């Protein structure tokens, strides 16, 4: 397991399965009278939230507390951030306070990468801009595995605003690693231009995709996308990409409906679908705590060399001409 | 002259006056001796033992430049000196010192200062600061529109008639996106042989844009800056320039498609010129995967296919010249999240080395062509090749020959060293080449017979 959890793409199959298996064990803990373990006693976990996300913050807080860690909630509002302190200075402050792990939610893609350069502790990405949200993908995979018994070969359709979705990105990378077959479904305006290079297939037509789906994951579509001309109207979006009970009837009997929340009922998902037995939306929230416990447990409970560098391993960087260097950011090309 | 070799040190205290520089290879050709008297090259002869070499007389400082390449002093069409307004990032003095160390004898200072260089007063101030610093000629670029706001023409004629003699006008950093305003600007500057240098970026297609739109932007979740946003403006402006018979210069061309459009426009005989930056000749958008904003620049780093097309375009002359887009920023503007960070990279002190690596080592350009792309052509585009302002000979990009102003750079092709921004004369450290091993070193630079750089360091 790496020191940080920043991108689902960084997880090997062994790591990903270890997290899911650990989460399975920890989920059983919740059934005990006192659902708490002493594992992370004396460890400090900071929830550094630059965006409002009560559900994710509470989930991480519950996870850390059930492992007996000390939890500090640091939200951008009501802190020095509002007065203009930089992420770097905030990182140095948290470092000085001895944070063992920082769970960061930030509106800027890549903020966790930056943070990992400035602190010694583990960085857990709780959603960065339009980049990734790896623990969401892990809890989604956990939920699929619990409901359907497997991930390998599972046909998963992810529907909605792929372009701006960190959930979609993390799911694409993680599900690829776990052997599932992903289909992205969206209007062409809400797909990245280079999506054909991703390890998944793409469709513009939800209706034709549903009969071959074991899982359909609906993403929240934001109203402001309409003003940027990504689609003409909410009505048209719902007609073409919304999941109502007529469309749900096209799914195989065993198929499940997922949503990372928060939902726009009546837009991407009809109320009767959200509340149907196929829906795993509430389970996803429950499972989120177990998965986040597993992540914190695996990142923090192992032994660590005190002199390990704080810098995350970068991808190999070389110039267009294959030019190489020896300094930190210029690694030698074989 | 080499810092590494004491045998190359000057044989007499340096002196503005008379110099005899022995053994350098003009444009990479056979070794020659170059004689400088005052501000002018007065003699050149093949080095050798046939008795025809130039002899050092009394009061002549002799420099041994054996093995070094001699080039005409480099000319940068695109420099941000930041003064007035952002002296924490750069001053005219620090930026021109950086330029001299990079082998430059003239730089064009972009107009996006605070206040913007949109009046005769501001351009004269920048010009005067350049004269005071003395490291290289500073040619202020005038803003096209008042306050760079893109709505009303600045007083272009007043800047042209000022002591700064502005000939290049640009809203660089912003695109003159209004087609009518661009047309008028192109037409208007014909009255004083001016040129409009366009920052080609369709604003609606690049709102919030962070990195090249493609595989990397999709994966990194950073808003894409599509190639078409550059190419659409270049195509439009080439057509406008043709329609009104005016001179258009395209700043920092970054895509393969732009090279194609410019090649087509030139084939029509239209007055279109273009520049490419060193960083777009060497680096690609894959570096954004680190989310380190030292790689954030506008236009963004593109793909390896774009880099190949830019190199080919520079080699075949479709792209006229290399311009640095030297854009210094203080550390706090780069030690942030990517989307919060300022765009831009320093470049003056590494440009020649990067061109050496990207163009010469690859066999795409010889040293004579490097002189053409980094001195002769930018001087022509900047209207510096033929002017004589007042008592001073302001010509740049001239042949290394008797009668030319003694603007020269001597370059050692041998050393290969990692780039160390902490050693740069620029006030800012945002070099994307930090740590990268690049060939070459500027050993000496002469501005009108006065050494600005000697032994690889600033001449005091």
pLDDT tens-digit series, residues B166-214: 999 999 999 999 999 999 999 999 999 999 999 999 999 999 999 999 9
Please give the residue of chain A at the shortest CA–CA distance from B221. A131
For residue B208, the chain A residues in CB contact (below 8 A) are none
Count of residues in chain B = 460
DSSP state of B373: I
B459: burial class by Cβ within 10 Å (0-12, 13-18, 19+)?
Answer: middle
A173 chain-B contacts, CB cut-off 8 A: none
- A114 contact residues in B (CB cutoff 8 A): 291-292, 336-338
Q: Residue B423, class by beta-carbon neighbours within 10 Å (0-12 exposed, 13-18 middle, 19+ buried)?
A: exposed
Strand partners, B75: B106
Rg of chain A, C-alpha, whole Å: 20
**Higher pLDDT, residue B273 or B49:** B273
> Which residue from A109, A111, A314 is facing B290, i.e. has the nearest CB?
A314
Give the fold, CATH level 3, of B73-381: TIM Barrel (3.20.20)
- Which residue in B210, B217, B221 is closest to A166 by CB distance? B221
pLDDT confidence tier of residue B53, bands split at 50, 70 and 90: low
* Tens digits of residue pLDDT in B342-398: 999 999 999 999 999 999 999 999 999 999 999 999 999 999 976 555 556 789 999
Mutation target to probe the B interface, by most B beta carbons within 10 A, among A134, A166, A323, A324 is: A323
Confidence of residue A226 (pLDDT cuts 50, 70, 90): confident
The pLDDT value given to residue B386: 62
Sign of CA dihedral A217, A221, A226, A229: negative
Please state the domain extents for chain B.
Answer: 6-70+397-458, 73-381
Closest CA to B216 of A280, A33, A195, A189: A195
Region A233-241: mean pLDDT is 95
The answer, yes or no, to whether residue B8 has pLDDT greater than 50, is no
Contact status, residue B98 vs residue B349, Cβ threshold 8 Å: yes
- Please give the Cα distance from B184 to A47 (Å, whole number): 55
Minimal C-alpha gap between B186 and chain A (Å): 33
> Which of A114, A194, A323 lies at the smallest CB-CB distance from B214?
A194
Residues of A within 8 A of B282 (CB-CB) are 319-321, 323
The band of A33, judged by pLDDT with boundaries at 50, 70 and 90, is confident
- Residues of A with CB below 8 A from B219's CB? 169, 194
- What's the pLDDT tens digit per position in B94-138? 999 999 999 999 999 999 999 999 999 999 999 999 999 999 999
Look at residue A37 in the predicted model and tell me its pLDDT: 92
What is the rounded average pLDDT of the residues B61-72? 96
Nearest CA of chain B to the CA of A88: how many Å?
7
Asked if A105 is an active-site residue, the reply is: yes
Distances (CA, A) of A241 to A216, A221, A235: 12, 10, 10
Determine whether B372 is an active site residue.
no
Residue A117 among the catalytic residues = no
Q: Are A325 and B436 in contact (CB under 8 A)?
A: yes
Q: What is the pLDDT of residue B50?
A: 57
Task: Give pLDDT, residue A82.
Answer: 59
pLDDT band at A327 (very low <50, low <70, confident <90, very high): very low
Q: Cβ A328–B221 below 8 Å, yes or no?
A: no
Q: Which of B64, B76, B306, B325 is catalytic?
A: B325
Tokens of B171: 């809203």
Across the interface, do B283 and A132 touch by the CB < 8 Å criterion? no
Q: Which of A106, A114, A325 lies nearest to residue B436, judging by beta carbons?
A: A325
Pairing of strands B450-454, B457-458: antiparallel
Phi and psi at residue B192, in whole multiples of 5°? -130, 35
Nearest-angstrom CA–CA distance, B271 and B378:
14
> For A46-62, how does the pLDDT look when each residue is reduced to its tens digit (9 = 90+)?
999 998 888 999 999 99
Reply yes or no on whether the pLDDT at A187 is more than 70.
yes
| Residues of chain A with C-beta less than 8 angstroms from the C-beta of B223 | 130
Q: Where is average pLDDT lowest: A18-32, A132-146, A194-208, B172-186? A: A18-32
Distance from CA of A296 to the nearest CA of B (A): 24
% residues pLDDT > 90 (chain B):
91
Question: CA-CA distance, A207 to A250, in Å (whole number)?
Answer: 8
Superfamily name and number for B6-70+397-458: Urease, subunit C, domain 1 (2.30.40.10)
| Helix, strand, or coil (residue B247) | coil
Reported as a pLDDT band with limits 50, 70 and 90, residue B10 is very low
Catalytic annotation present for A66: no
d(CA B112, CA B74) in angstroms, rounded, equals 23
Which of A321-330, B92-101, B219-228, B281-290 has the least mean pLDDT? A321-330
Range with the lowest mean pLDDT among A12-21, A85-94, A155-164, A281-290?
A: A85-94
With pLDDT > 70 as the criterion, what percentage of chain B qualifies?
A: 94
Indicate whether B240 pLDDT > 50: yes
A299-313, B20-34, B41-55, B228-242: segment of lowest average pLDDT: A299-313
Give CA angle at B318 (B316, B319), nearest 5°: 105
pLDDT at B360: 98
pTM (global) more than 0.90: yes
- Residue A89 confidence (pLDDT) above 80: yes
Q: Which domains does chain A have, with CATH numbers?
A: 8-133+285-300 (3.40.50.1370), 134-282 (3.40.50.1370)
Percentage of the residues of chain A whose pLDDT score is greater than 90: 78
Nearest chain B alpha carbon to A130 = B221
* Contact yes or no for B358 and A108 at CB 8 A: no
Using the beta-carbon criterion (under 8 Å), do A330 and B436 form an inter-chain contact?
yes
CA distances from B115 to A30, A211, B122, B124, B164 (A): 63, 63, 8, 13, 17
Q: DSSP secondary structure string, B107-150? A: EEEPS-SSS-S-SHHHHHHHHHHHHHH-SSEEEEPBPSBGGG-S
What is the CA A303 to chain-centroid distance, rounded?
A: 26
Indicate whether B5 pLDDT > 80: no
Residue A29's pLDDT is what? 83
Q: How far is B256 from chain A (nearest CA, A)?
A: 14
């Amino acid at each position: 397991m790496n020191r940080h959890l920043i991108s689902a793409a960084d997880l090997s199959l062994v790591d990903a399965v270890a997290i899911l298996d650990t989460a399975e064990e920890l989920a059983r803990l919740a059934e005990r009278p006192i659902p708490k373990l002493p594992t992370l006693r004396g460890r400090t976990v900071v929830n550094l939230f630059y965006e409002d996300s009560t559900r994710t913050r509470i989930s991480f807080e519950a996870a850390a507390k059930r492992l007996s860690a000390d939890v500090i909630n640091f939200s951008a509002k009501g802190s020095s951030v509002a007065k203009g302190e930089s992420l770097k200075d905030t990182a140095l402050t948290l470092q000085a306070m001895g944070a063992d792990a920082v769970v960061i939610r930030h509106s800027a893609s890549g903020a966790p990468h930056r943070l990992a350069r400035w602190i010694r502790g583990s960085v857990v990405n709780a959603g960065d801009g339009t980049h990734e949200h790896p623990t969401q993908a892990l809890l989604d995979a956990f939920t699929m595995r619990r409901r359907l018994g497997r991930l390998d070969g599972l046909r998963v359709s992810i529907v909605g605003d792929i372009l701006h979705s960190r959930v979609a990105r993390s799911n694409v990378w993680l599900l690829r690693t776990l052997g599932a077959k992903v289909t992205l479904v969206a209007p062409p305006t809400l797909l990245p231009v280079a999506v054909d290079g991703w390890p998944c297939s793409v469709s513009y037509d939800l209706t034709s995709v549903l009969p071959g789906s074991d899982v359909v994951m609906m993403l929240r579509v934001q109203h402001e996308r309409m003003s940027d001309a990504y689609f003409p109207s909410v009505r048209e979006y719902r007609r073409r990409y919304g999941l109502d009970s007529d469309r749900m009837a096209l799914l195989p009997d065993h198929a499940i409906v997922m949503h990372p929340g928060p939902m726009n009922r009546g837009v991407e998902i009809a109320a009767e679908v959200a509340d149907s037995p196929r829906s795993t939306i509430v389970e996803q929230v429950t499972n989120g705590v177990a998965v986040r416990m597993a992540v914190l447990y695996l990142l923090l409970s192992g032994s660590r060399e005190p002199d390990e560098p704080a810098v995350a391993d970068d991808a190999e960087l070389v110039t267009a001409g294959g030019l190489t260097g020896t300094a930190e950011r210029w690694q030698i090309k074989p | 002259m080499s810092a590494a070799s004491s045998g190359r040190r000057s044989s007499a205290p340096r002196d503005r006056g008379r110099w005899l520089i022995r053994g350098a290879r003009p444009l990479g050709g056979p070794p020659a001796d170059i004689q400088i008297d005052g501000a002018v090259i007065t003699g050149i002869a093949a080095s050798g033992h046939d008795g025809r070499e130039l002899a050092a007389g009394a009061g002549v400082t002799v420099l041994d430049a054996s093995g070094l390449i001699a080039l005409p002093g480099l000319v940068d069409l695109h420099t941000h000196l930041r003064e007035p307004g952002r002296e924490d990032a750069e001053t005219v003095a620090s930026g021109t010192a950086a330029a001299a160390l990079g082998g430059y004898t003239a730089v064009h200072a972009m107009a996006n200062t605070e206040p913007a260089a949109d009046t005769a007063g501001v351009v004269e101030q920048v010009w005067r600061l350049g004269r005071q610093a003395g490291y290289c000629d500073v040619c202020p670029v005038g803003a096209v529109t008042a306050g760079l706001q893109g709505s009303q023409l600045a007083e272009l004629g007043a800047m042209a008639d000022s002591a700064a003699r502005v000939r290049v006008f640009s809203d660089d950093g912003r695109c003159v996106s209004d087609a009518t305003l661009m047309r008028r600007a192109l037409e208007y500057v014909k009255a004083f042989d001016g040129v409009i240098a366009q920052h080609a970026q369709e604003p609606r297609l690049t709102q919030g844009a962070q990195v090249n739109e493609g595989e990397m932007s999709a994966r990194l979740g950073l808003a894409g800056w599509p190639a078409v946003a550059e190419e659409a403006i270049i195509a439009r402006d080439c057509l406008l320039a043709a329609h009104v018979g005016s001179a258009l210069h395209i700043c920092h061309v970054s895509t393969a498609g732009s090279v194609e459009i410019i090649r087509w426009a030139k084939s029509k005989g239209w007055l279109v010129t273009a520049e490419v930056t060193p960083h777009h000749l060497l680096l690609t958008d894959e570096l954004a995967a680190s989310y380190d904003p030292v790689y954030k620049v506008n236009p963004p780093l593109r793909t390896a296919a774009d880099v190949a097309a830019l190199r080919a375009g520079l080699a075949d002359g479709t792209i006229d010249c290399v311009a640095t887009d030297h854009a210094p920023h203080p550390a706090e503007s780069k030690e942030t999240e990517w989307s919060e960070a300022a765009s831009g990279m320093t470049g003056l002190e590494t440009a020649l080395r990067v061109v050496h690596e990207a163009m010469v080592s690859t066999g795409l350009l010889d040293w004579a062509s490097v002189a053409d792309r980094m001195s002769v052509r930018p001087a022509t585009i900047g209207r510096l090749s033929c002017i004589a302002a007042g008592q001073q000979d302001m010509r740049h990009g001239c042949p290394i020959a008797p009668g030319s102003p003694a603007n020269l750079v001597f370059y050692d092709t041998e050393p290969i060293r990692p780039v160390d921004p902490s050693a740069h004369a620029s006030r800012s450290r945002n070099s994307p080449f930090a740590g990268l091993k690049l060939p070459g070193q500027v050993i000496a630079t002469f501005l009108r017979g006065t050494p600005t750089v000697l032994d690889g360091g600033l001449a005091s």
